[in-house]
Amino acid sequence: MTTLAEAPQRRQEREVHVSDRAKAETRLGQRLVAPAIILMLVVTAFPMLRALYLSLFNYSLTAPEDRDFVGLSNYLTALTDPLFWKTTGVTVLYMVVTVSIELVIGFAFAMVMHRVIFARGVIRTSILIPYGIITVVSGFAWQFAFSFQNGFINNWLPFIDSDFNWFGQTTPAVIAICVSEIWKTTPFMSLLLLAGLAQVSEDMIEAAKVDGATWWQRLWRVILPNMRAAIMVAVLFRALDAYRIFDNIFVMTAGAVNTESISFLTYRQTIEQFQLGIGSALSVLLFLSVLVIAGLIVKVFRVDLAAARQEG
């Protein structure tokens, strides 16, 4: 009798005890993450809100007294200026070209690294080098390589004149910038893809082989569909990164011959010309376009997923 009467009471005690523990755990958890969250918000959320606010003013650091509220007119100025659309177009071009080439080369590299058993360490160590090198340094390396004065590319490419100036026109200059960007970030892409490749079950590939699937069929029907998540993460990260391209352009052309990206335009307005009002409007637009790109990529891959399911 007594044990029966005591049982519910004890359970209740335990519940109280558990919820006390849960509360303490919540408190401890929140205390432990507090420094990180505060720091992240101070440097991003607060300045972003400030940019949103400043973008509504005509505000130049060279004439701070003349700051006055202009509403959305900075956005109107930016969005009706052909320069804005030209730089956005070039930026999208950089992003599409570099990410698609990197996806192909990075996947090939990942396949090789996945198969390699000997010299694994050497390959993985050397692939960290382009990733670790300062972008400014790789920009210089490629700029000098393409230069007709001190480079070797003109000599190595048989169909190019030895005095061809890569940085004199838009298209060759964009190609040179893309080469530098692709060299630098393909290793990052291939490391992400390697991680995805490692998750594809070897048994499934073997089964497809037994069923007589060719190498090409195995790649398209088994390996790639099973890597979709990894590919999406790689494309998402690289695309957002490529969209904010800045360092290479700064070093290689300084924005000359229409190679300026949207990040470069924003930098030039705020830091070089002290136009904080219009610069903030550009900052906000840049942030919004990054969100749109992220949304689009996630959506595209989801559609792809559904299509693949119907196919299967």
Partner 1 sequence: MRKVGTALGCLLILLWCLLPVAWIVSLSFKSQTAITNGSPGFLPASGDSAGWQNYKDVLDNEQFRRAIFNSIGISLIATALSVIIATLAAYAIARLEFKGKKFVLTTALVIAMFPVVSLVGPLFDMWRAFGLYDTWPGLIIPYMSFTLPLAIWTLSAFFREIPWEMEQAAQVDGATSWQAFRKVIVPLAAPGVFTAAILTFFFAWNDFVFGISLTSTERARPIPAALSFFVGADPFNRPASLLAAGAVVSTIPIIIIVLIFPAQDRRRPHLRRSEGLSRGFHRDEEHRQEVR
**Residues 176-195 within binding reach of partner 1 (CB under 8 A):** 183, 186-188, 191-192, 194-195
Residue by residue, DSSP assigns 239-272 as HHHHHT--HHHHHHTTTTTTT--HHHHHHIIIII
**Binding residue for partner 1 (CB under 8 A) from 7, 39, 63, 79?**
39
CB 259 within 8 Å of CB 170: yes
CA pair distance 76, 88, nearest whole angstrom: 16
Structure tokens at 232: 């999406």
Mention every residue, 6+ apart, whose C-beta is less than 8 A from residue 110: 190, 191, 193, 194, 196, 197
Window 51 to 70, contacts with partner 1 (CB under 8 A): 51, 54, 61
> In this chain, which stretch among 7-15, 39-47, 65-73, 298-306 interacts with partner 1, using CB under 8 A?
39-47
Task: Based on the shown chain and the rule CB under 8 A, indicate whether residue 37 belongs to the binding site for partner 1.
Answer: yes
Nearest CA among 130, 103, 108, 105 for reference residue 232: 103
**Binding residue for partner 1 (CB under 8 A) from 246, 257, 258, 301?**
246
**Binding residue for partner 1 (CB under 8 A) from 13, 15, 20, 25?**
25
**Binding residue for partner 1 (CB under 8 A) from 103, 196, 218, 235?**
196
Task: Based on the shown chain and the rule CB under 8 A, indicate whether residue 199 belongs to the binding site for partner 1.
Answer: yes
> In this chain, which stretch among 11-19, 30-38, 82-90, 216-224 interacts with partner 1, using CB under 8 A?
30-38
Window 265 to 294, contacts with partner 1 (CB under 8 A): 266-267, 269-271, 276, 279-280, 282-284, 286-287, 290-291, 294
Give me the least distance between CB of 288 and partner 1, in Å please: 9
CB 281 within 8 Å of CB 80: no
**Binding residue for partner 1 (CB under 8 A) from 18, 63, 133, 305?**
133
Window 97 to 116, contacts with partner 1 (CB under 8 A): 108-109, 111-116
Mention every residue, 6+ apart, whose C-beta is less than 8 A from residue 122: none
Window 113 to 132, contacts with partner 1 (CB under 8 A): 113-116, 119, 121-132
**What is the identity of the amino acid at 142?**
W
118: left (phi over 0), alpha (psi -120 to 50) or beta: beta
**Binding residue for partner 1 (CB under 8 A) from 72, 134, 157, 175?**
134
Give me the least distance between CB of 107 and partner 1, in Å please: 12
**What is the identity of the amino acid at 37?**
I
Give me the least distance between CB of 56 and partner 1, in Å please: 13
Task: Based on the shown chain and the rule CB under 8 A, indicate whether residue 42 belongs to the binding site for partner 1.
Answer: yes
Burial of 255-286, coded b for 16+ CB within 10 Å and e otherwise, reads beebbbbbbbbbbbbbeeeebbbbbbbbbbbb
CA pair distance 128, 126, nearest whole angstrom: 5
Give me the least distance between CB of 9 and partner 1, in Å please: 26
> How many chain residues bind partner 1 (CB under 8 A)?
107
Task: Based on the shown chain and the rule CB under 8 A, indicate whether residue 158 belongs to the binding site for partner 1.
Answer: no
CA pair distance 242, 185, nearest whole angstrom: 9
Complex with partner 1: residue 71 or 295, whichever CB lies closer: 295
What is the x/- site pattern for partner 1, positions 249-268, by CB under 8 A? -xx-xx-x------x--xx-
CB 123 within 8 Å of CB 204: no
